[in-house]
Structure 1
Amino acid sequence: MQHSGEDIDVFQIERALWVAEWKTGLPVYDFPFAQMMDCRHGRFGGAEEVSAIGRFGAVIDYDALYAELLEVCVRLVHSPSQHQLCSELPLWYPSLKGLTPESWWFDTPPDAESAGELAGWPLFLKGSRQTSRHQASLSIIHNEAEYSAAIATYATDSMLHWQQLVIRRFERLRRIEADVGQKIPASFEFRSFWWHGQLAGVGPYFAEYARYDWTPAERGAALELAEEAARRMALPFIVIDLAQKADGQWIIIEINDAQESGYTGVRPLPLWQRMVELERARCPG
C-alpha cells in the first residue's frame, strides 16, 4: 500500500506507547484504539521527538514514509535498515539458521534440474519478502515441470517479479482440517508478537479458517524456540510465525516487521494491553 505521512494518525495509548496508524479497512490489520484504550494526541513538528509503533499494513516505500514522519519529529520504532532486516529472508536467515528450513536465494533463478538437486522434490518457492497471496501452485513445487511453470509466472507476477527468488527445503508440517481454497494448506501454525524480546501476544495463524489450540507442552516448546529467535534478532517489534512439523518438532516459518503484520488469531486488545505493561516495565517513569 502507498502511504503518506499526512494520512497517518499519531497518538499515545495509555500514556505509555505512541502509535502511528493508517487505517487499511481490513479487520486483520485495524484496531479501534480510540474505542478500546485511553488515547491522546500530541502536536508534532516541534523540538520534541517521539518514537512510534507503525500500524499501517504492507508499505511500498518504508524509507520514504520513515523520512516523512521524521520531518514532523515522529520516529518509527524500526529504522529503514531494521525494517529491511526483519522483512527480507536473505537478511534474517543467517541469524536464524538451524531454527528455520534450509534456504537459498538467487537474483537469477536456477534451472529446474539444479533446483531439484539443491533442495530435492518437493521444494518450497517464494519471494525474498513474501509469497503471492499464499498460492499453493507457486509455492509447493513437486517436479521440474511445475518449477518451470512457476518461474515463468514469477517473472510477470506483480508481487514477485521484483523480489529475489528463495528456494526452501520443504518441511512436512502437521496439517489441520481447513478449507483454504487454492492457498498453501493450513498447518498447525501460530503467530507471535514480540516487543523488545518479550512475548506480547500469540494466536493460531489459520484462525480465519479453523479452530485449533495447543497443549501447554506444545506452547512451551514453540515459544522457547520463538524466544531464542527474538533474542537473536534483537529488534524492537517483530512477528515470529511458528509451525509444528509432522514429527512434532517446531520450526520458525518466517519473521516480519510487526508494524506491517496482520493480527491473524492474536487478540488485539490483550496484545496492546500487554505491550503497555512491557513498555512501562522497560521504561519506568
Structure 2
Amino acid sequence: MLRPRRPDEHFAAEAAAAREAGWTVALVDHDGLAAGAADAAVARVPAGDGAVYRGWMLGADRYAAMARALAGRGVTLRTGPEQYRRAHELPGWAAQLAGFTPDTTWTSGADRAAFDEARAALGEGPAVLRDWTKSMKHYWDEAVYVPQLGDAAAAWRVASRLRELRGDEFTGGFVLRRFERFTGAEVRTWWVRGECRLVSAHPDSPDELPPAGPDLAAITPVIAGLGLPFVTVDLALRADGVWRVIEVGDGQVSDRPVSTTAEVFVAAVGDRILT
C-alpha cells in the first residue's frame, strides 16, 4: 500500500523470477480489489493479453469482478471466475475426490438446522470443522475439532465459535470432515492443466521436505478431470500408510513454501501456464 509501484514483499521474489524468465509482470492493487474498486485496481495492467493472477487470496466474487475489469482492458485470465470458485471453495471439488479425501458434508449458510442435518449425515465419531474456504486451525480445540458428532450441543458450540472468529470473512457455510489421523507433515503439489509440475513442502512446515512419495498415479486422472487450469493439492500420509487429499486450492493464491525458491517455482509452472 505504501509502495504502490512495487510488488508486495511476499511476492517480490516471484515477480523478479518471472521477469527474468521473460514474463510480463504487472501490478494490481489487492486492497482495491478487496474493497470492490476493481477497475482502478487493474489500471496498471497492459491491455490485450492473457494473464495469471498471483497474489493474496480473493473471495470468488472479488475475483470475478477483477476478471470483468481485466476483460474491459482486453485481458483474459487463464483461470476464469467459475474455475476459480470451484478450486477455491470446497463444494467445487470435494464430491469428485470422494474416496481420496475424508468423508465430507457441508451446508449452505450458517443456520443450526442445516448444521445438524450435515452433522447427522456424517454419522458418529470425531470430525473437523471449517467453512467453504478456510479453517481456524490455530483455534483447534474451540473452533475446529468436534470430538463427537453425536453430541449436538457441543458440536454447535464449535460451529458457533468458528462463525464468530471468521466474522465477515465466513464463506458459504459449514464444512464437516471426518477426523483421520495423519503422520508427518503435509505435502503441497502444484498442478497445471491436470499435470503435477512440482512437489513441495507445505508452507506451514517448509523445512519438512516431502518424502520420495506421494504416489500420484491414482489421483492424477481425478485431478485432470476437475478441468481446472492451475491448482494445488495438499496431501498427508494417514496412519495406515494411505495418502489422502487434505485440500485443493487455486494455484494463483496458494502460498509457496520458503524452502522452494521463486526460480524453481516459476520454472516449474511457467512454461505451460500462459501457453
TM-score w.r.t. the length of structure 2 is: 0.76
Please give the secondary structure, in 2, of the residue aligned with 1:94: coil
Deviations 1:158-186 (A, max 9, x none): 26544311111111111x3xxxxxxxxxx
Instruction: Give the one of 240, 247, 265 matched to 1:271.
Output: 265
- Whether the 8 Å CA contact 1:99–1:225 is kept in 2: the answer is no
Instruction: Give the one of 30, 34, 50 matched to 2:16.
Output: 34
CA distance in 2, matches of 1:53, 1:256: 15
Aligned length: 242
CA distance in 1, matches of 2:168, 2:137: 9
User: Structure 1 residue 140 and structure 2 residue 145: aligned?
Assistant: yes
Corresponding residue for residue 164 of structure 2 = 156
CA distance in 2, matches of 1:31, 1:206: 16
Instruction: Give the one of 190, 193, 199 matched to 1:196.
Output: 193
Q: Which structure carries more strand by proportion?
A: 1
- Which residue identity is paired with 1:197? G
Corresponding residue for residue 85 of structure 1 = 86
Shift of 1:115: 2.4
CA distance in 2, matches of 1:123, 1:50: 45
Shift of 1:241: 0.7
CA distance in 2, matches of 1:68, 1:235: 22
Q: Which structure carries more helix by proportion?
A: 2
Please give the secondary structure, in 1, of the residue aligned with 2:244: strand
CA distance in 2, matches of 1:31, 1:226: 31
CA distance in 1, matches of 2:228, 2:138: 26
Structure 1 window deviating more from structure 2 (271-280 vs 121-130): it is: 271-280
CA distance in 2, matches of 1:232, 1:260: 21
Task: Go from structure 1 to structure 2 and tell me whether the alpha carbon gap of 1:73 and 1:116 turns closer, same or farther (over 3 Å shift).
Answer: same
Deviations 1:248-271 (A, max 9, x none): 001111111111110125443212
Corresponding residue for residue 54 of structure 1 = 53
- Whether the 8 Å CA contact 2:14–2:262 is kept in 1: the answer is no
Q: How does 1:110-259 map onto structure 2 within 5 Å?
A: 110=113, 115=119, 118-132=122-136, 134-137=138-141, 138-143=143-148, 144=151, 146-157=154-165, 158=167, 161-174=170-183, 176=184, 188-205=185-202, 208=205, 210-214=207-211, 216=212, 218-219=213-214, 221=215, 223-259=216-252
- Whether the 8 Å CA contact 2:104–2:176 is kept in 1: the answer is yes
CA distance in 2, matches of 1:80, 1:224: 29
Shift of 1:82: 0.7
Gaps of 5+ in 1: 10-21, 177-187
Report the RMSD for the aligned CA atoms in angstroms. 3.0
Shift of 1:272: 1.1
User: Structure 1 residue 44 and structure 2 residue 53: aligned?
Assistant: no
CA distance in 2, matches of 1:113, 1:67: 37
CA distance in 2, matches of 1:59, 1:65: 10
- Whether the 8 Å CA contact 1:226–1:252 is kept in 2: the answer is no
- Whether the 8 Å CA contact 2:194–2:225 is kept in 1: the answer is no
- Which residue identity is paired with 1:115? R
Structure 1 window deviating more from structure 2 (54-63 vs 239-248): it is: 54-63
Please give the secondary structure, in 1, of the residue aligned with 2:53: strand
- Whether the 8 Å CA contact 2:103–2:122 is kept in 1: the answer is no
Percent of residue pairs bearing the same amino acid type: 21
- Which residue identity is paired with 1:97? A
Shift of 1:246: 0.4
CA distance in 2, matches of 1:119, 1:266: 40
- Which residue identity is paired with 2:146? I
Structure 1 window deviating more from structure 2 (125-134 vs 231-240): it is: 125-134
Structure 1 window deviating more from structure 2 (99-108 vs 154-163): it is: 154-163
- Whether the 8 Å CA contact 1:119–1:168 is kept in 2: the answer is no
Please give the secondary structure, in 1, of the residue aligned with 2:93: helix
Gaps of 5+ in 2: 26-44
